[in-house]
Amino acid sequence: MSIDEAEKLHNTQQVGTLAIDLGNWTTVVAFQGESDDSPTLLDLPPITRIKGEIPSLIWQSSTETKLFVGNQVLQLGLKADENSFLCIDFKRWIGSPLADNFYSGMISPEKAGELLLKKIWEVIPLNLKIRRLVLTAPVNTYRAYRAWLQKACLDMEVDEIALVDEPTAAAMGAGVPPGSKLLVIDIGGSTIDLSLVALEGGEGKAEPVAQLMRFGGEDLEGKSKQILRCAKVLGKAGLRLGGRDLDRWIVNYLHPKEKLTEDLLNTAEKLKCRLSEDKLSDSEYLTEEHRSSEILNSLELRLNKTQFEELLLEKGFISSIKSLLDKTLAGARANKCSLNDLTGVVAVGGGTRIPLFKKWLLKEITPIPLLTPPPIEAVAKGALSLTPGVKLKDVLQKGVSLRCWDEARKKHFWHPLFLAGQPWPTVKGLEIILASSYFNQTELEIVIGEPEIEGSQEIIYEKGIPIIKEGVAEEKVIAWSDPPTQIQLSPPGEAGQDCLKLTFGVDEKSQLTMEGIDIRTKEELKKISLGSVR
């Protein structure tokens, strides 16, 4: 490109924000120029299937010389063989501790996600100048997902990068007025997420001039002329179950001995979508034929709406969502918010189209209105509405604890610093006084842990079929993998002597911070970041 051509392109480029909502089956890409009133879905040939929608598929040769992404994989009919790798169903396993047990792809979930993001970046039209990139993340694996995204985006030449969680972005995408409280239900291809969100402002309150949480650089500055809003999540719950699991149930119900191939699951997905049409009668049978080189004859998938709904009820689909709803509302009540306080309920994600779910939801939330923005692109467009001038006030999903020594019992215990439901950024820090545990102690070790509730509800797989397992909730604390922080004591401490007064907080980047003072010498300890919390 000549110098004149480059200058001409620079002068005609549209500057704005790109949003990428990485999905387990569909990734949505939207753009909003700085002078635009609303976002638009991007057509990115050859990887988009329809405008704004990219199948979350990666095909790579074993020598890494060839790479095909999204709609390229579908159009070419590519499959995995001894000379290539096909990566599907990877988003749900990014940052998940269960990936080693259940994910079987030859390309790691993190690598597949990185390849998809970089391919999107590569095919962005030249007339678009991306100043800000906003990405979305699931609730349950937010901390690990955030760390992965930060590394995956290192090579992208963009001034600002922001991250918002998917339920909050969906709430913003509903376009409700400031001051509203919303329950967001997102049923995607791999996860179900519920989030109760409060939008700041309203009732004569001044709109907040705030900055969006981001990573990898400076905070976003509010440059948009649109009304700035600030979202606060009051309650959250999630489960690693989604639309693809429903496809597995359908195949296993109709043909329990058949291998769960991706082509067969895609056929089941088509049947599921047709069975989710509102005008379909309960008794009308629908049929999808599956043809494959692996079977001699075509395989017939045949169901009616009544059978489909009975299958969902038997597998615990609705009861699982009800459990999530109860947990979300319990968290909201701790923040002095009930179902009756809501402006509306927002349902996004392909799974929310299922009539059984909609019927159940309407019964549960009446008389609260149900808001139904476009289910597929709502999250990406909502993420755009969060930039460039919104600060995300969120709540901790799991909490965070400090390991302490119990002198009487001669054992360590976990002391909660911030509990699940704690809003962040914190306004006032939490003060903790630490004492020496033995004579001539020269340092104190700061070990941070994250509480995890086990056994209340989980998804296990038996021969590839997802099963919802109920159990008794039990909480344990998992220490962070990061090396503990060592604080030197000078002079050394004496057994039982109060030495340090530490103040812990969570900043706008979701970092757990610590500062303090040596009580004995009055020497101040410099504020440091201990790691990211959620």
Q: Which fold has domain 3-173+378-393?
A: Nucleotidyltransferase; domain 5 (3.30.420)
List, edge to edge, every strand of the sheet that includes 67-69: 67-69, 58-61, 84-87
Round to whole Å and give the CA distance between 258 and 463: 11
**Which residues are 476's β-sheet partners?**
452
DSSP conformational letter for 292: -
Q: Where are the domains of the chain?
A: 3-173+378-393, 400-532
**Token pair of 198, please?**
């409060």
Supply the pTM of this predicted model. Answer: 0.63
Round to whole Å and give the CA distance between 82 and 106: 11
Q: Which fold has domain 400-532?
A: Substrate Binding Domain Of DNAk; Chain A, domain 1 (2.60.34)
pLDDT of residue 375: 62
Pairing of strands 344-348, 181-187: parallel
- The answer to whether the bond into 97 is cis (omega within 30° of 0) is no
pLDDT of residue 102: 74
Helix axes 317-334, 305-315, angle to 10 degrees: 60
Q: Which residues, at least 6 apart from 139, have a Cβ–Cβ distance to it below 8 Å?
A: 165, 166, 167, 193, 195, 236, 238, 397, 534
Compute and round to an integer the Cα radius of gyration of the chain: 25
Please classify residue 447 by burial: count the beta carbons closer than 10 Å to its beta carbon, then call 0-12 exposed, 13-18 middle and 19+ buried.
middle
* Closest to 240 in 3D by CA, of 92, 349, 64, 30: 92
Walking along the chain (534 residues) 10 residues at a time, the average pLDDT comes out as: 52 84 89 84 94 93 94 88 86 81 84 96 94 79 79 82 72 70 86 80 40 36 35 81 93 93 87 92 93 73 96 96 94 90 89 94 93 72 59 64 84 85 76 90 91 64 73 70 90 90 87 93 92 80
pLDDT of residue 482: 83
Please classify residue 517 by burial: count the beta carbons closer than 10 Å to its beta carbon, then call 0-12 exposed, 13-18 middle and 19+ buried.
middle
pLDDT of residue 24: 82
DSSP conformational letter for 296: S
pLDDT of residue 200: 59
